[in-house]
Amino acid sequence: MDNMVLKIKKLYKDAIIPKYQTEGSVGFDFHAISDIQIEPTAYGMTGTGLSVEVPKGTCMLIFQRSGISKKYSNYIGTSVGVIDEDYRGEIMMPLINHNKFEHLTIKKGNRIAQGVVIPISKCEIIEMEELSETERGQNGFGSTGK
């Protein structure tokens, strides 16, 4: 597959351009543009100081970093963020501190999330009266793990 180009604009001179940390990395790390401390069980928001232009026919997904997730599970408020190809605003991170006892402290420059650019397919959306039958049917939420 040919390399795609992700265009990045610094909104602040001290914003950090993300990069892949290893040759085999799928995601590239985003850094916090400022310090933030989130009280136990509270919400917050931090920026990256960057806006992006993802390649046509792709989107960028924002995921948590495993290093922070080890101590603060599900710390990104949406779990996965979607950056559409036509969005040009700042890449922001909604954060939640699920820890009941400790503050979530993010320092300026900390790697806070990772981005992955993926190709997308658009579907024709059709309303139907009935859907095809499957063995699984409507069974969900753990039904395949029994």
Res 98: pLDDT: 81
Domain ranges of the chain: 7-121
Averaged over successive runs of 10 residues, the pLDDT of the chain (146 residues) comes to 86 97 93 93 92 96 73 56 94 86 89 93 95 84 66
Res 48: pLDDT: 96
Res 58: pLDDT: 96
Give me 74's structure tokens: 């599900």
Pairing mode of beta strands 28-31, 36-38: unpaired
Give me 28's structure tokens: 């590239």
Res 120: pLDDT: 94
List of E strands, the chain: 7-10, 28-31, 36-38, 43-53, 58-63, 81-83, 90-96, 104-106, 111-119
pTM for the complete prediction?
Answer: 0.81
Res 18: pLDDT: 96
The answer to whether domain 7-121 has CATH 3.40.50.300 is: no
